[in-house]
Structures are given as C-alpha cells and as structure tokens.
Amino acid sequence: MYPQEDNKFKKSCPPFNWYIFLSFIFSQTETTKIKENSHTKWRWLPPIMNHAWPTHPFQGPSCQDKRPNLSEIINHGVPKELCQKVLAVVTEFFQLPPEERAQYLTKNHSKQVKVFNYYQKYDGIGKVTMWSETFSHPWHPTEDFTHLLPTNPPQYREVFAEYARAIGVLFDRLLSLISRGLGLDKDCLKRRIGEKPGLNTQANYYPACPDPELTMGMPDHNDLGSIAVLLQVEGVTGLQVIKDGKWLTVDPVPDAFVINLADQTQVLSNGKFKSVGHRAITNKLLPRLSLGMFYTPNNDTVIGLVEDLIDEENPPEYRKYSFKEYMEEFYKQEGKRRRVKEAFELQR
Ligand SMILES: O=C(O)CCC(=O)C(=O)O
Ligand SMILES: [Fe+2]
C-alpha cells in the first residue's frame, strides 16, 4: 500500500509531532469573512452545474447534531509547497473552459472520474440549486486510474500522485491515533474499515455568487466514510460546522488540514466519536476551492461493533451492516438531509 512503499516521503517528514491545536474549533461569528488572496489568481466562472438561478431565498436546513467532531491540524508532515501546488493545479482545472470540464460531467455515480453535484435535488430549499461544482476521482492506487485523469493542466497527474502519497501517510497516522484514542490497538480502525478501501478525492469549486443568500455551496451533510482530510484555499471562508443548533464558520488556518470525523468512525466507535454535520456557503467576492480526501470502506466490508468498546454501560448503538447496504440507504435518501447512519441505529 501507499504509505509503506513511500519511505522517501517518510524520511522527509518532520518528527511525528502532532499538535491538534484547535479541537472543536469554532469561530466566534457566523459572518462570512473574506480576505483578498494575493496568492490565488481567481476569476469569475459560472458553475456549469447550475444554469437555473434560484427563485426564492435559502431558508437554512435544521440540524439536531450537538457534538461535532472537527479539528484543524498542523505539523502534519505534508509539505506546504505540495499543498499549494495541488490547490493551484486543481484551481487551474476549474478555470478551464466549461466545454473542457464538461467531458467529465455525469450523473452516473459509478463513474470513477466525474464532475457532478450530489445535492442538486434537496428538499427544504425549494428550487435553490447548489452553487458549486465537484470534481471527483480515486486517489489510490494511482496506476489503476491515472490514465483517466486530466492531461490539462499538464501537471495535474504528477502533482496529484505526489499529494496522494503524502495524504496516504497522513491517513495511516490519523486512523492509528483515533484507534489509540479509543483505547484500541493502533491498527484496529484501519482493519475494521477493511481491505481495499475506497480512496476518493472531491475537489469542490464554489464560484463567487451574485447573491449568496439565495443559494448554498454544499448543503448540510455528514461525510460517509471514516475520516476526511480537507484542504481549503487560504483567505476565503465557506466551511461551516453545526454546534448546538448554530452554524459556525471554520476559517482556513494557514498550513492546516481540517479533519472531519465521518459516519463510519461514529458507528465503529459506538458513538464515542461523533460524525460532524457541516456545509459550505458561498460569498459574493471570491470563488473558493476545497479539496477533500476520503477513506471509505468498500461495498463488501461489514461494519459492526468493536467488542472491546461494548459493555453493560455501553451497549451497541448500531446494527451490523455491509457498506453496500449503507450506500443503498444513502441513495434512497436523495433529496433529503441524509441521515444514513441513523437508519442502522438499534432501538432501545
Ligand atoms: O467546501 C468545504 O469546505 C466542504 C466540503 C465537504 O464537506 C465535502 O467535500 O464533503
Ligand atoms: Fe463533507
């Protein structure tokens, strides 16, 4: 697998010096803060997904989640220059002429490399469409899909492969930290997420929006897999997290990754770690780019309780399911604020 193979990268990492400096970070205000960003050359580009202009104001979805789990980490070992390079190359991709990006446009989710929007149908916000465009593809094993990735921008394949190797190392560290945080052996979570995990990236591009009140970048959701490592461009906010029923803005911190705990971590930890409810809003002045890397079980993996976490005081909260069942439930809930893991909760 990627991390073990990549000794060259490991040697270049700083010591394993984790500093989770903002656990449960929440900014003090829900106001979107926008700073001019001199490093990123943005130009306005209408999203190819959203031709229809929304006709009534966005109401804001409600969410009951009380204890989100989101952190920003620094000293993560992924070189700053590499993060900047990958953001630059993905930005360039979104700045290609729409016809060029449109070759990847699809509603078929079984496609490996695709431009799409998961949330175009969404109850509760009426006719409002999402003001975003997402480019998704696997990030490992590279030899299986690199030939499908864009050749324009020309550096895309090479930069992405280098970034994917570095993030592979990071995922191993995170999974082992979370396992140890649960009092389990360091490989436990990775083992439970299973062989041949789905390793996909999602680059989300949110063009500047003439009236952000009328639409959403990405609606309220929880990530599906185990954890997500999210890189945001500096200087443009958009990510929000729900806490005690309030949306709070997560300002990008220089050189930091946002780490979202996702649904499978909540289930496997029997509710000890919470999957975070989050969304992205748009702004009037600047486009925004975020790049998520995901680590997800494959369809055959059975997600079930970890015996060491269960006792009289902590009875199992979820029934066993295959990830295929979980994804069927996910697609069944299209158009709603998806609450997929809730469908597998055991009734008391
Ligand atoms: O743009 C963001 O910050 C959020 C992206 C996100 O939540 C996702 O890709 O699942
Ligand atoms: Fe997400």
Contact 297, 251 (CB under 8 A): no
Q: What is the CATH number of the domain that holds 269?
A: 2.60.120.330
> Residue range 236-256: average pLDDT?
91
Q: How confident is the model at residue 118, as a pLDDT?
A: 59
Inside any domain, residue 11: no
How is 171-207 classified by DSSP, letter by letter? HHHHHHHHHHHTTS-TTHHHHHH-SS-EEEEEEEEE-
Q: Which two tokens stand for residue 102?
A: 């449109």
> Residue range 36-51: average pLDDT?
33
Candidates 320, 328, 324; CA nearest to 344 is 320
- In whole angstroms, what is the distance from residue 108 CA to residue 112 CA? 9
* 239-243 vs 302-303, strand pairing mode: unpaired
Candidates 233, 299, 128; CA nearest to 117 is 128
CA of 185 to the centre of ligand 1 (A): 30
Residues flanking ligand 1, CB < 6 Å: 202, 204, 218, 223, 230, 232, 238-239, 278, 280, 290, 292
Q: How confident is the model at residue 189, as a pLDDT?
A: 97
Q: What percent of the chain has pLDDT over 70?
A: 76
**Closest atom of ligand 1 to CA, residue 250:** 3
* Closest Cα to atom 10 of ligand 1: 223
Confidence of residue 344 (pLDDT cuts 50, 70, 90): very high
pLDDT tens digits, one per residue of 110-119: 899 999 765 6
Instruction: Using most ligand atoms within 8 A of CB, pick from 222, 230, 248, 296 the residue to mutate for ligand 1.
Output: 230
More confident residue, 183 or 130: 183
User: CB neighbours (10 Å) of residue 185?
Assistant: 12
- Domains: count for the chain: 1
Distance in Å from the first CA to the final CA of the chain: 41
> Residue range 28-44: average pLDDT?
29
* 227-232 vs 302-303, strand pairing mode: unpaired
Contacts of 105 (CB under 8 A, 6+ apart): 48, 49, 114, 115, 116
> Residue range 290-315: average pLDDT?
97
3-state secondary structure of 336: coil
Task: Name the pTM for this structure.
Answer: 0.82
Contact 211, 282 (CB under 8 A): no
CA of 312 to the centre of ligand 1 (A): 37
More confident residue, 78 or 26: 78
Q: How confident is the model at residue 210, as a pLDDT?
A: 85
Q: Is the pLDDT of residue 19 over 90?
A: no
Q: Is the pLDDT of residue 263 over 60?
A: yes
CA of 11 to the centre of ligand 2 (A): 31
Q: Does the CA dihedral 101-103-109-111 come out positive or negative?
A: negative
Q: How confident is the model at residue 102, as a pLDDT?
A: 86
Confidence of residue 201 (pLDDT cuts 50, 70, 90): very high
Q: How confident is the model at residue 301, as a pLDDT?
A: 98
User: CB neighbours (10 Å) of residue 241?
Assistant: 23
CA of 265 to the centre of ligand 2 (A): 14
Confidence of residue 124 (pLDDT cuts 50, 70, 90): low
CA of 281 to the centre of ligand 2 (A): 12
Beta strands in 24-111, from DSSP E residues, in sequence order: 70-74
Among the bound ligands, the one closest to the CA of 258: 1
Inside any domain, residue 7: no
Inside any domain, residue 114: yes
Inside any domain, residue 86: yes
For helices 156-181 and 80-94, what crossing angle results, to 10°? 120
Inside any domain, residue 234: yes
Inside any domain, residue 12: no
More confident residue, 169 or 53: 169
Q: Does the CA dihedral 252-165-330-180 come out positive or negative?
A: negative
Q: How confident is the model at residue 96, as a pLDDT?
A: 92
* Closest Cα to atom 7 of ligand 1: 279
Inside any domain, residue 2: no
CA of 209 to the centre of ligand 1 (A): 17
Confidence of residue 211 (pLDDT cuts 50, 70, 90): confident
> What mean pLDDT is reported for the chain?
80
Neighbouring residues of the ion ligand 2, judged by CB less than 5 Å: 223
Domain of 116, in residue numbers: 23-344
Inside any domain, residue 321: yes
